[in-house]
Chain A
Amino acid sequence: DAGVIQSPRHEVTEMGQEVTLRCKPISGHDYLFWYRQTMMRGLELLIYFNNNVPIDDSGMPEDRFSAKMPNASFSTLKIQPSEPRDSAVYFCASSYDLNEQFFGPGTRLTVL
């Protein structure tokens, strides 16, 4: 298996633009997680899905952030409009159960 795939690996955009991050989880994994990592705040869970259904989105910072999982093999995290404080590394992770999560390589987002 190729592992969790994220795209793009790097994204540079200007304030106010829409940003879409993509994730393909490992086949057969029922859980999908979106995290944000910054030096100041560390690793933060934004939202997670079970069988394509959002279970906990309490970590989504504000309405500018939205996440979808239209099917078992694809998820998106969208920021609209983006702001400089959204600059971070965004990780997607998937798991078969809650005992081990497999992380993707991350998307480094820079908002100018």
Chain B
Amino acid sequence: GDSVTQMEGPVTLSEEAFLTINCTYTATGYPSLFWYVQYPGEGLQLLLKATKADDKGSNKGFEATYRKETTSFHLEKGSVQVSDSAVYFCALSDTNRDDKIIFGKGTRLHILP
């Protein structure tokens, strides 16, 4: 079945460092890919998405490119802030099969001032 694998955390960085959180997926169809973020004490919220190969999703300085050839959707940010400390979830959804979103296990990010 479809699945998502993301790097384990926690990831600890200093403010203004470059961030990469790796995500790879397995899917039989042509999924849409997502990054969700969960701030402390809150529910998940959509950070960005890409619906087809080579699409780049971006939001709040974060970017991720849908790479079909490597089945990856890595999350990047050029200069992180303390306020980016959160848990990040990679996810996929194969809407052609009208199926539910599959979430990765989440990666906790700590940014030190």
The answer to whether A42 touches B93, judged by C-beta atoms less than 8 angstroms apart, is: no
Q: Complex: how many Å from CA A100 to CA B91?
A: 10
A25 at the interface (CB under 8 A from B): no
How far in angstroms is the closest Cβ of chain B from A59?
10
Q: How large is the interface on B (under 10, 10 to 19, 20 to 34, 35 or more residues)?
A: 20 to 34
Q: Which of B32, B34, B89, B99 contacts A43 (CB 8 A)?
A: B89
Q: Of the listed stretches A61-69, A73-81, A102-110, name the one at the interface; the rest are far from the partner chain.
A: A102-110
B-side interface mostly: loop
Q: Complex: how many Å from CA A104 to CA B42?
A: 8
How far in angstroms is the closest Cβ of chain A from B28?
16
User: In the complex, how many residues of chain A place their beta carbon closer than 8 angstroms to a beta carbon of chain B?
Assistant: 20
B71 at the interface (CB under 8 A from A): no
A45 at the interface (CB under 8 A from B): yes
Known: A91-B43, A91-B44, A93-B43. A101 touches B106 (CB 8 A): no
Q: Complex: how many Å from CA A99 to CA B57?
A: 13
Q: Complex: how many Å from CA A49 to CA B36?
A: 21
How far in angstroms is the closest Cβ of chain B from A23?
11
The answer to whether B100 touches A56, judged by C-beta atoms less than 8 angstroms apart, is: yes
User: Chain B 42-63, CB within 8 Å of chain A: the 1/0 string?
Assistant: 1111100101000000000000
Q: Complex: how many Å from CA A73 to CA B42?
A: 22
